[in-house]
Amino acid sequence: MPKTPVALNSKTVLVTGSPGFIGANLVLRLLREMDSGTVVSLDNMNDYYDPALKEHRLSLIEKAAEASPVRHVFVRGSIADKALVDEVFRAYRPAVVVNLAAQAGVRYSIDHPDAYIESNIVGFYNILEACRHAQSPVEHLVYASSSSVYGGNKKVPFSVDDKVDNPVSLYAATKKSNELIAHAYAKLYDIPCTGLRFFTVYGPAGRPDMFYFSATRRLVAGETIQIFNYGNCKRDFTFVDDIVEGVWRVMRGAPARAIGEDGLPLPPYAVYNIGGGTPENLLDYVETLQEELVRAGVLTADYDFDAHRELVGMQPGDVPVTYADASALERDYGFTPTIGIREGLHAFAEWYAGYYA
């Protein structure tokens, strides 16, 4: 798909969901790579998980901003607050918007559906409306979708050309809704939009509700970890640096405007997978995590792992396999994730040892 180059220097970039996990790492990348302009972070700092971790990431951003030629502004608030979103667009006039703000978590959506409708549906609608009515045209809206949209698809690897009409969680349904609504806005209002389906993101200072993080905390506390589907799960684990590299490249290449065979404008819209394309068996992933936790001194060399793990059945909303076909990302942006689980979990264990020391 043809792309229109988008320059970032001397412009304003809005990143919602920063200082969330991916958002914080993206902002840090922008502060390193851009030589001028403004980066605006927007997040409500909710307590879905320990807010201290978000404060930690925000402190890293603020420290990086001190050494960067790029101005950084943090706005505390929710994208579900339409007045706030409109004010941010009015005050800062972003040229590029990266919407990473969302209520995450598959299992949490089973018991807390309101949070997902508010943030993932109403909040995303507010972002799209702000882009539509922006005083200065938004050159590119990039937004986070999820590998969860593939639901129980049995064909692997998952391709962006596959049908994704059978979500197995409300979270997945909201992400698929984001893609549909963004397509409509791209068509109706000529807003260049790119959706990114992330595959099982992990890394230092990640989300504590993710398996690798929560398992580490339980093992440190001497508790038992549960391994779902009796270990017969495969995940396309993607290290956060690979995710950020993908987002960084996509930001700078918006879907080009074009005319279709019927003479009417085609929507400047695209969706990509960002995943390693090498699914790992969950038991192998756990074994690597254990080895790295011992090497980093988080756990002792004689820790009895067998006594602290339990094989259990599949959980509601889960799927047995996630496996990305990222060939479209490679074709259009020249990038495929390359960081393996050994390197990624090594980095996580080192960070955990330092942060919780």
**Tens digits of per-residue pLDDT, 289-333?**
999 999 999 999 999 999 999 988 777 656 677 889 999 999 999
pLDDT in tens, 87-106: 999 999 999 999 999 998 88
Report which DSSP code applies to 229: G
* C-alpha count within 13 angstroms, C-beta hemisphere, residue 289: 25
Question: Dihedral of the CA atoms 168, 322, 211, 28 (nearest 10)?
Answer: -110
Count helices and strands (H / E) in the chain: 12, 17
- Is 285 noted as a catalytic residue in this protein? no
How far is it, in rounded angstroms, from Cα 273 to Cα 254?
16
Tokens of 159: 């391709």
In the prediction, which pLDDT does 318 show? Answer: 65
Neighbours of 272 (CB within 10 A): 26
Given 48, 49, 150, 171, which residue is catalytic? 171
Using DSSP's 3-state secondary structure scheme, residue 16 falls into strand
Q: What are phi and psi of 132, to 5 degrees?
A: -60, -40
Per-run averaged pLDDT (10 residues), the chain, 357 residues: 94 97 98 98 93 96 98 98 98 98 87 94 98 96 95 87 91 96 96 96 95 96 88 88 98 92 88 89 93 97 94 72 90 95 97 94
At the topology level, CATH places domain 3-202+238-277+322-338 in Rossmann fold (3.40.50)
Round to whole Å and give the CA distance between 241 and 232. Answer: 27
Helix (H), strand (E) at residue 140? strand 140-146
Domain ranges of the chain: 3-202+238-277+322-338
pLDDT for 177: 97
183, 200 contact by CB (below 8 A)? no
Q: Which helix (H) or strand (E) holds 159?
A: none
How many Å apart are CA 3 and CA 252, to the nearest integer? 9
Measured between alpha carbons, how far apart are the two ends of the chain, in Å? 48
Q: What is the pLDDT of residue 174?
A: 96
**How confident is the model at residue 239, as a pLDDT?**
97
